[in-house]
Chain A
Amino acid sequence: MEILYSIVVAPFVDMWTSPVFFSEVVISGVLTGVMYSLVALGFVLIFKASGVFNFAQGAMVLFAALTLVGLMEHGVPVWLALILTMLVMVALAIAIERLMLRPLVNQEHIILFMATIGLTFFLEGLGELMWGSNVKMLDVGIPSESFEVGGILLNEFDLYAAAIGAALVTVLAVFFHKTSVGRALRAVADDHQAALSVGIPLKTIWIIVWSVAGIVAMVAGIMWGAKSGVQFSLSLIALKALPVLILGGFTSVPGAIVGGLIIGVGEKVAEIYWGPLVGGAIENWFAYMLALAFLLFRPQGLFGERIIERV
């Protein structure tokens, strides 16, 4: 009875009696969720346009952050380092398309997935080979003062992160829906062969998508790197983004955002209110279980395209 009470009732009583603390937890969850979304966004972009489940997204985040920090350590000013990193990511996209995707065209999804895991190893090795494996601090001039609003403690940095995330999503949405390249991207995502037959160059589209994903990875790398230092564990946030991805649906940009928020808030609330009951550190797997629970009701994720199967 007591156990039942501590699981079912006590956490809600806690939430009700100290609403300020609860809203702090929720807000910090939302802000972490935005960071997850940033990583998940890169996955969605590539999956939509080429059907590749790009496991290397996390490694791309690490690689971009390492490149940026490495350049800045060599005395390159921030704005120039940003542009150079962007160019590096575009070059990487071209190399991936040429050397990896083109020879593997028309292969099964699982083969392409494996190839991206190979790419993960390659990028992690390359990044650390070029820039060393020490933890580096990344400072691009985002302020991180804490302040209070209505008794709730907020960090300026998290707000900037949320703002940048929102801006990125808006830009991507406009890019996808208003430009001709965006329209071509959506056509490719819909049907490769039909897109080819109306004259959309598939290879160029893939390069563009991988470049955009690379730049999204760079933004995610900057935010995560500024928050917790640039180090090897940065590539592991890919594992944090995966539940976001299946929750929102592999093919949906809004899904990545909403999924990120649900996972971020759910994870924080569960860790703080239910975590102590089972010994804590449940953040690692809770997101997966949450996503799994959603999937049982919607197998394609919240916003994913309906899976239609025919014989």
Chain B
Amino acid sequence: MFYRESGQFKSSYVADQAIFPIAQDRWFIFAVLAVAYLVVPIVANEYWLQAVIIPFLVFAMAAIGLNLLTGYAGQLSLGTGAFMAVGAYATYKLVTMFPELNVIAAFLISGLIAAGVGVVFGIPSLRIKGFYLAVATLAAQFFLSWLFNKVGWFYNYNPSGTITAPPRMMAGIMVTGPEATAAVRYLVALTLVAVFALAAKNLVRGRIGRSWMAIRDMDIAAEIIGIRPFQTKLLAFAISSFYCGVAGAMTLFLWLGSAETEAFNIDVSFQVLFMVIIGGLGSILGSFLGAAFITLVPVFLTNAPQMFGITMATDLQKHLEVMIFGGLIIYFLIVEPHGFARLWQIAKEKLRRWPFPY
């Protein structure tokens, strides 16, 4: 009754090709953005921003990146954490070497550096496919984290081996470093994610996105209709790593403040892959839903016993958390293997016909 496109006539091709052709979708997105920009910074406290909302944005960024590679181009990768590390370390080096450089510019340049590294590790994808490729991308994961640990140049020969986000101003406001407030960091992260999500949404419906999907569905057939597999796959690796690199830079500068290679270990790679699959392969919206789910569930599990007034030993609780998390993932895969994005689709179909059953 409320959600249907009847009466919305398109009088130009531009209107017909809009990203959100249905007016209600557009309003919904504007409403979400308005709430995110105006209400959240006022309502949310420091803990919520730091522990839930900023990690959600960081992981949403990484999940979009991996979704472009795995969901759209069909190349399974377990190296997300490593590409995020490249972004974080590159930004750190850029910002400390050129103190005058704008932080956002540093983010984007290190995204490009991560893209270059991604291309190098994407080269085997032309010959290796499926799980063989997934294991091969683990080479990136282990090699890069070894490299960042071993070579002192990357962490400026800091004896503790950690990298710390230096304080930097932008337009007179502290955006990174220990003095930047969570609200400011949140707004910077939100802007980055919003812009890049829009870019990704546009990317996947254009020529590049369609050639990725052709490669995903069957690369030999795609080759026959004139898509160059090598360039297309490498482009997917490059753009995906760009997103992951920016996400890594956000992790260091806008979320954690200081980090070691451990912050980008293989668990991060798996987490992002979970987000992509639970959210829905081949869906930008799904990346957000998956990121929200995977960041919220552990927070919920940690706080749940207190909510219900149960007290238990911390290690017991930790093990239970891990167990329930694993169980939940299996459960969701069984209930809806195509992820939250599919559930959203079904809900939309239902809404259209409501109040009629069919």
Contact = CB atoms under 8 A, between A and B. Distances in A.
A93 interface: no
A239 B266 contact: yes
A311 B124 CA distance: 22
A239 B151 CA distance: 24
Contact of A250 (B132, B221, B324, B333): B132
A289 B139 CA distance: 6
B274 A114 contact: yes
A100 B224 CA distance: 38
B146 A111 contact: no
B75 to A, nearest CB: 11
Nearest to A117: B270
B30 interface: no
Nearest to A116: B330
18 contacts: A99-B330, A109-B131, A111-B277, A111-B337, A114-B333, A115-B330, A120-B326, A121-B325, A121-B326, A124-B326, A239-B266, A250-B131, A278-B150, A284-B142, A288-B135, A288-B142, A292-B136, A310-B220
B141 to A, nearest CB: 8
Nearest to A290: B139
Interface string A102-134: 011001111101110111111111101100010
A289 B135 CA distance: 11
B136 A246 contact: yes
Contact of A103 (B130, B315, B321, B334): B334
B130 A118 contact: no
B323 A122 contact: yes
A53 interface: yes
Contacts of B136: 246, 288, 291-292, 295
A281 B148 CA distance: 13
Given A246-B136, A291-B136, A300-B132, A117 B274 contact: yes
Interface string B306-335: 000000000110011111111111100110
B319 A128 contact: yes
Given A99-B330, A125-B322, 12 more contacts: A104-B334, A113-B134, A114-B277, A118-B326, A118-B327, A121-B323, A122-B322, A242-B138, A284-B146, A288-B136, A310-B220, A311-B220
B120 to A, nearest CB: 12
B277 A295 contact: no
Contacts of B322: 121-122, 124-125, 128
A104 B337 contact: yes
Nearest to B219: A309
Interface string B121-145: 0001001111110111011001100
B220 A113 contact: no
A181 B196 CA distance: 54
A124 B326 CA distance: 9
Interface string A271-311: 00000001101101100110110011001110000010111
Nearest to A289: B139
A115 B143 contact: no
Given A118-B333, A119-B326, A311-B221, A295 B132 contact: yes
Contact of B333 (A104, A123, A279): A104
A278 to B, nearest CB: 7
Given A104-B333, A109-B131, A295 B319 contact: no
Contacts of A239: 138, 266
Given A103-B334, A117-B270, A282-B146, A295 B124 contact: yes
B246 interface: no
A113 to B, nearest CB: 7
Interface centre among A53, A108, A114, A126 (most CB of B within 10 A): A114
Contacts of B130: 109
Contacts of B316: 129
Given A284-B146, A292-B124, A311-B220, A242 B135 contact: yes
Contacts of A126: 319, 323
Contacts of A117: 270, 273-274, 329
Contacts of A114: 273-274, 277, 329, 333
A243 interface: yes
Interface string B327-357: 1111001100100000000000000000000
A49 to B, nearest CB: 16
A281 B334 contact: no
A245 interface: yes
B84 interface: no
A239 B139 CA distance: 11
A260 to B, nearest CB: 15
